[in-house]
Amino acid sequence: MDIERFRRSPIGRLVPLAGTDGRTGERYDHFGFVPDPLGAPPSLSGETWTMVSRANRSLGALEQGASLIPNPGILRQPTLRREAQSTSALEGTFAPLDDVLAAEAVGSGERSAALAEVLNYIESAEMGFTWVQDRSVTTGLLEELQSVLVRGTRADTDQAGRVRSIPVAIGSHGGAIEDARFVPMPPGVQLRSAVDDLLRWVAEADGVGVDPVVAAAMAHYQFETLHPFNDGNGRLGRLLIILQFMRSQVLTEPLLSVSPWFEARRERYQDALAAVSAEGDWDSWIALFAEGIHRSAVDTGERMTALLAVQSSYRDRIRDGGLRGMVVDVVDLLIGSPFVTIPMVSTATGKTYQAASSAVQRLQEVGILDEVERQGVRMFRATDVVRVTTRPVRRTAR
């Protein structure tokens, strides 16, 4: 960490950080950065406000589009799985999106460590989505979400599920604190108090008229800078964006995936966060954040439209093929779960195995399902749904 650069920060301070590295036994004497508590929104340039307004319009369009769908919940799983895969990849844990989409059909047998970690994120996010329907985000909630996120991983230590009691270093190739790109504030009572202060600010921001995109940008910076857990801070911080939008009723369904856009701009994302700490450059960070929200909302909306078009085309094939009955229910299932097994179809529809097998066969005959095998499991893939869900984010957006 460039000590002199952060020493001049107008929005935080350096504090001494000393101890013994438990891995090497080496003594270290360094500094951690403590950000000031969040207050009133910073002054922003006209250009940045234009970008913030555009982000708000794109979020509004996404919300309006979702409100016109009879069952927007069918789009929740593909959106969440894309976000889970990408937010994990941004932190160095990579599992192919195809594997994430097929995980339910494959079952809980042989799973890579990376895939298990991505699936942990999905479970954690679902808990958060349920919580914010009628409650504000709390430190206790974040601790519970983090414990689920790291379950069964190398970070599943005595630090899991609680605000860290150890120092951490970010971007240290050799693992030494002195080599780190950034060192957050030391552990202790003050760190937990800082997290409590942040979440109190988040709960109050909407009531005092802070623009929701600006509020989410500020809270994301503060959370990542505090780095309150031993692992999972990046993923939790990006999840917090969606939870904030849900709490402020910008979104009623979690149909926004933000990580693919930021993953493609990892260095810009990290540099902009650091510039807030070092120079107080809120303007550049909020501009970048707003651009990311805008482009993510546009991409999610386009993908949502494409999935609904696939659903409509599937129904046309069913009608043209003279099919009826439970095959219609299976088509809706495929939008959220494009890899299925016959037992999955049977359970989801409440029909017998024989009826489910017959329905799957008919969907194969009209070209909706293709039989595939993954990890020795016979399953069926809705290829059109997979294609829409896995296509890369466009480099440009409206």
Query: What is the Cα–Cα distance from 280 to 262, expressed in whole angstroms?
Result: 21
Enter the tokens of residue 46.
């006209």
Whether residue 398 has pLDDT greater than 60: no
Sequence ranges of the chain with CATH classification 1.10.10.10: 303-390
What is the second-level CATH architecture of the domain 303-390? Orthogonal Bundle (1.10)
Q: Which sign, positive or negative, has the C-alpha torsion 147, 150, 152, 157?
A: negative
pTM to 2 decimal places: 0.92
Which residue type occupies 105? A
Task: Count H helices and E strands in the chain, helices first.
Answer: 16, 5
Query: What is the Cα–Cα distance from 22 to 39, expressed in whole angstroms?
Result: 37
Sequence ranges of the chain with CATH classification 1.10.3290.10: 3-296
* CATH T-level fold of 3-296: Fic-like fold (1.10.3290)
pLDDT in tens, 22-48: 667 788 899 999 999 999 999 999 999
pLDDT of residue 397: 45
Residue 395: pLDDT band (50, 70, 90) is low
pLDDT in tens, 134-191: 999 999 999 999 999 999 999 999 999 999 999 988 887 666 788 889 999 999 999 9
Query: What is the Cα–Cα distance from 329 to 282, expressed in whole angstroms?
Result: 49
Query: Is the pLDDT higher at 109 or at 76?
Result: 76
Other Cβ atoms within 10 Å of 193 Cβ, number: 13
Closest CA to 241 of 210, 217, 207: 217
On average, the pLDDT of the chain sits at 93
Strand ranges for 110-241 from DSSP E: none
Query: Is the pLDDT higher at 61 or at 325?
Result: 61
